[in-house]
Amino acid sequence: MANHDGAGDGNQHAVLALDASRSMISLYGNQVFGGPNRVEIVARNLGSVLTELAGNVTILYWALGLGDGIEIVGDFDKVTFSDAAITGPKTEKWGRGTCLLPTIRYIAETVDQHSQSTLGVVLTDGIIEDEKECMEYCLQLGENIKKAVDAGDRPKDSFQIVMIGVGEDVDVGQLERFDDLFDDTPLAGEVDLFSSNLAAHMQDVNGAPLFEL
């Protein structure tokens, strides 16, 4: 395992952010009668793709405590990712809310400062409570990224966050609102920070389900 500061190799870095709110406990298999760790199934598949793309990936849990806490697991490469424990938070409590802004800020203000290109993948099972605050922050972030692109300081589309819904209670409309954040703004066509999908709908190149949930 590498360091815990979210620093990439100066070129590209990826972050895999796993929802650890209380409603996710059963999806980690942490319940009275046990069960499959569905989060791990998704995370292992995504991690193999992310480490192939970026070389290493930072794993973190988000939505801890009151819903705004994060726990950094560490940085992993292609070899060490297979040994990463994906069983839920260890030092923080499962969250009583689901606030995404601290994670977006971490990706933008810590990880991206060490990378020319940053990709964040966020798994969530439900409603993100601080949607308005996230939108406001990301609109300003988009403006800053546009200025950096125009100045030749970074490539276009070099900061991306992919939202992936898991479970049965995902607010698809909310995911779509993140996806469409810059539509009908002066940055439309210039900046597009978000994309979204449902884990259950994702397929491989042959059209087979990517995740057996």
The CATH number assigned to the domain holding 107 equals 3.40.50.410
- Confidence band of 33 (pLDDT split at 50, 70, 90): low
How many residues would you count in the chain? Answer: 213
What's the pTM? Answer: 0.90
Residue type (1 letter), 63:
A
Task: Give domain status of residue 208, yes or no.
Answer: no
Compute CA distances 161 → 34, 35, 72, 76, 119, whole Å. Answer: 32, 30, 18, 19, 6
In a domain, 109, yes or no: yes
Give the tokens for residue 159.
């900061």
- Tokens found for residue 133: 């605050």
160's enclosing H/E stretch is strand 159-165
Count of domains forming the chain: 1
Q: How far apart are CA 102 and CA 64, in angstroms?
A: 11
Report pLDDT for 3.
Answer: 43
Is the Cβ–Cβ distance between 116 and 155 less than 8 Å? yes
Q: What is the pLDDT of residues 40-59, one digit of tens each?
A: 988 998 999 999 999 999 99
Which residue range(s) make up the domain with 172?
Answer: 12-201
Query: Parallel, antiparallel, or unpaired: how do β-strands 56-64 and 69-77 relate?
Result: antiparallel
Q: How confident is residue 204, by pLDDT bands cut at 50, 70 and 90?
A: low
DSSP string, 28-66: GT-STT----HHHHHHHHHHHHHHHHHSEEEEEEEEETT
Instruction: Name the residue with tokens 């992310």.
Output: 50
Question: Per-residue pLDDT tens for 177-197?
Answer: 999 999 999 999 999 999 999
What 8-state DSSP symbol labels residue 80?
Answer: G
User: What pLDDT digit, counting tens, does each position of 117-172 carry?
Assistant: 999 999 999 799 999 999 999 999 999 999 999 999 999 999 999 999 988 888 99
Does 48 reside within a domain?
Answer: yes
Query: Which residue carries 């605050």 as its tokens?
Result: 133
- Assigned domain for 4 exists: no
Q: What is the pLDDT of residues 72-110, one digit of tens each?
A: 999 999 999 989 999 999 999 999 999 999 999 999 999
Contact status, residue 56 vs residue 9, Cβ threshold 8 Å? yes
Q: Do 183 and 142 meet the contact criterion of CB atoms below 8 Å apart?
A: no
